Amino acid sequence: MRERSPKVLRGPVPRNKEDDQVVYIDGDSAPRILFSGEDLLLEDLPIGTRVIYPKPPIEGLANPGAAIRYALNHPHDSEPLYAQLAPGMRVTIAVDDISLPLPPMTTPDIRQTIIEIVLELLDANGVDDVHIVIANSLHRRLSEAEMKRMVGSKIHDAFYPDRYYNHDAEDPDGIVHLGKTDHGESVNINRRAVESDLVIYVNINLVPMDGGHKSVAVGLCDYESLRPHHEPETIRASDSYMDPKRSMLNTKVERQGALVDRHMNVFHIETALNNRIYAGATAFLSKNEDEFTEIDRLKFEAMRWTLSKMPRGAKRKLFQSIPAQYQMIACHAGKTEPVHEKILQRCWDQYAVHVRGQADVLICPVPFVSPYNVNSILNPILVQVMGLGYFHNFYRGKPILKKGGVLILTHPCYDEFDHNHHPSYIEFFNRLLPETRDAMKLRHKYEEEFAKNPSYIEMYRRGNAYHGAHPFFMWYWGENGRQHVGKVIVAGAENAHVPKILGWERSESLTEAIAMAKSFVGPSPEITMMHHPPIVMADME
């Protein structure tokens, strides 16, 4: 590979002309903070490393309740919600599960605020046949405590359990076949929603792949409907999940969603949040380290020292007990596509950072939480999802990492699983991956065995387990990353066993990982670090 001289920069740290979020490390820059599971690392990066920081939070709407009411009364391509209501109607409110936002937001959750306003409107118009269904698809059922926190005590006590419950994708009497798309994709949807006069979908759009047709067509579907777009070929053909126009996954979901809209009357309420994860004592974690005050440095050292003295389970519980300080920055309502278009633009306003030029080496710290381990453990399959599934796809235009480059993740990669939430993951990791990591072989040889396993179905329906097929979808989720990346190195892995099964290399430290990467791509690589959380996405030129 052609050698290049590193970018050695002197004086003030330079930034992009368009943004203040891209900096290059010079000889006087402070070390950078990296997340590694439940730990915080302080690492020196090579001179010339490009660091991409998240944008500052967009200011939240001053009066969220007023913004919600305005959206309901001024919807896109639809009559106002009150004009669609009449006594005797059957109405179903479907709502996103707590796989987002991450971490869970402070209460009242924006879903609670929206549902309270909607219920007031339904009551004022004589609508009393109302169910609230959590659109968890093949995700795990929420516990009662999680359900109560999401909508508040008043709604929970009035509706739970008979009229506020989790969607059940395996209920033989609870799913209706709406038909097939012109490409043969089945569309099977929750019976209560299909048989309602009106479905009101309450959405949180944390990233651009959320919302739109995905809300009903995926959130309220079954295994047969999910398979056509959660499979290896579709994932490989998705040039970033975050860029819907270039995502085959999104294309297939839109075909299914169009069929949903032909059969069902759906009124969408979509919201966008800012990225204000930290506030108060942890607010310093949102800063560029070069801008830390002495107080910020003391806070960081105190936090790092405290975490170093705590057992892993206690650290995890501590982090999971700190809610995010998200604020709503947009709310739109009405028909699927015009609503989603408005919300997508607001998402990109918050997350997109202009970046010029791809990297030979990409460093991605992996935090403690993903959409699939809320109140649980980030097991090895989910570490893979974060690295090759999400972080690799946090771009629009083209990947941050050059084809065949090196992805460095920082995570201990502990061999630990939640037996209640992820039982099928345990068998997938220990039985199947040692045999093959080939996504196509896994799909054709084993996926249906797991999906139809009576024990896994029972744990999904009666317990709080992810569907038996879910670890397969999570493995496929990293498929376009695996096809693109030349090598994955996990820095700080506490064992050799997990990285080996995942097909990765390991290093004791980030410094060692960078040296290993140089031996693969050349002695003077272009190195980029994505400084998250919060979420940051690259608008690549």
DSSP 323: -
The pLDDT confidence band at residue 163, using thresholds 50, 70 and 90, is: very high
Could you tell me if 476 and 439 are in contact, meaning their C-beta atoms sit under 8 angstroms apart? Answer: yes
Domains of the chain: 22-56+356-540 (3.90.226.30), 64-273 (3.40.50.11440)
* Tokens describing residue 242: 């975050």
Tell whether the model's pLDDT for residue 11 goes beyond 90: no
Q: Identity (one letter) of the amino acid at 315?
A: K
Q: Cis check for the bond before 533: say yes or no (omega within 30 of 0).
A: yes
Give residue 324's pLDDT: 96
pLDDT per residue as tens digits for the range 461-489: 999 999 999 999 999 999 999 999 999 99
Rounded distance between C-alpha atoms, residue 186 and residue 182, angstroms: 10
Task: List the end-to-end C-alpha distance of the chain, in Å, as a whole number.
Answer: 23
pLDDT per residue as tens digits for the range 135-153: 999 999 999 999 999 999 9
Point out which residues pair with 35 in neighbouring strands: 40
Largest CA distance in the chain: 73
pLDDT per residue as tens digits for the range 328-385: 999 999 999 999 999 999 999 999 999 999 999 999 999 999 999 999 999 999 999 9
Give residue 292's pLDDT: 94
63 Cβ neighbours under 8 A, 6+ residues apart: none
Mean pLDDT, to the nearest integer, of 30-50? 94
Q: Parallel, antiparallel, or unpaired: how do β-strands 198-205 and 186-190 relate?
A: unpaired
Rounded distance between C-alpha atoms, residue 380 and residue 373, angstroms: 11
pLDDT per residue as tens digits for the range 214-263: 999 999 999 999 999 999 999 999 999 999 999 999 999 999 999 999 99
Mean pLDDT, to the nearest integer, of 90-102? 98
Give residue 279's pLDDT: 87
Rounded distance between C-alpha atoms, residue 29 and residue 514, angstroms: 18
In terms of Cα–Cα distance, which of 212, 210, 118, 169 is closest to 468? Answer: 169
Tell whether the model's pLDDT for residue 15 goes beyond 80: no
Rounded distance between C-alpha atoms, residue 269 and residue 95, angstroms: 10
Question: HSE-up of 536 (CA within 13 Å, CB side)?
Answer: 25
pLDDT per residue as tens digits for the range 49-88: 999 999 999 999 999 999 999 999 999 999 999 999 999 9
Tell me the three state secondary structure of residue 320: helix
Distance, C-alpha 39 to centroid of its chain:
20
pLDDT per residue as tens digits for the range 445-462: 999 999 999 999 999 999
Give residue 410's pLDDT: 98
Quick count: other Cβ atoms within 10 Å of Cβ 524?
17
Mean pLDDT, to the nearest integer, of 12-40? 78
Question: HSE-up of 210 (CA within 13 Å, CB side)?
Answer: 28
Give residue 19's pLDDT: 61
Q: What is the mean pLDDT of the chain?
A: 95
Tell whether the model's pLDDT for residue 18 goes beyond 70: no
The pLDDT confidence band at residue 281, using thresholds 50, 70 and 90, is: confident
Mean pLDDT, to the nearest integer, of 376-401? 97
Give residue 12's pLDDT: 36
377 Cβ neighbours under 8 A, 6+ residues apart: 316, 416, 417, 418, 421, 422
442 Cβ neighbours under 8 A, 6+ residues apart: 432, 436, 472, 475
What angle (nearest 5°) sits at the alpha carbon of residue 267, between those of residues 264 and 273? 135
Quick count: other Cβ atoms within 10 Å of Cβ 27?
10
Tell whether the model's pLDDT for residue 162 goes beyond 80: yes
HEC-encoded secondary structure of 434-488: CCCCCHHHHHHHHHHHHHCCHHHHHHHHHCCCCCCCHHHHHHHHCHHHHHHCCEE
pTM value is 0.95
In terms of Cα–Cα distance, which of 32, 30, 28 is closest to 42? Answer: 32
For helices 110-124 and 144-151, angle between their N-to-C axes, nearest 10 degrees: 70
Rounded (to 5) percent helix, strand, coil in the chain: 40, 20, 40
Quick count: other Cβ atoms within 10 Å of Cβ 80?
16
The pLDDT confidence band at residue 280, using thresholds 50, 70 and 90, is: confident
Rounded distance between C-alpha atoms, residue 380 and residue 357, angstroms: 31
Rounded distance between C-alpha atoms, residue 120 and residue 28, angstroms: 58
> For the chain, what percent of residues have pLDDT higher than 90?
94
Between these two residues, 28 and 231, which has the higher pLDDT value?
231
Tell whether the model's pLDDT for residue 17 goes beyond 60: no
pLDDT per residue as tens digits for the range 489-534: 999 999 999 999 999 999 999 999 999 999 999 999 999 999 999 9
DSSP characters for 140-182? PPPPHHHHHHHH-HHHHHHHTTTTEEE--TT-TTSEEEEEE-T
The pLDDT confidence band at residue 13, using thresholds 50, 70 and 90, is: very low
* Tokens describing residue 247: 């995502």
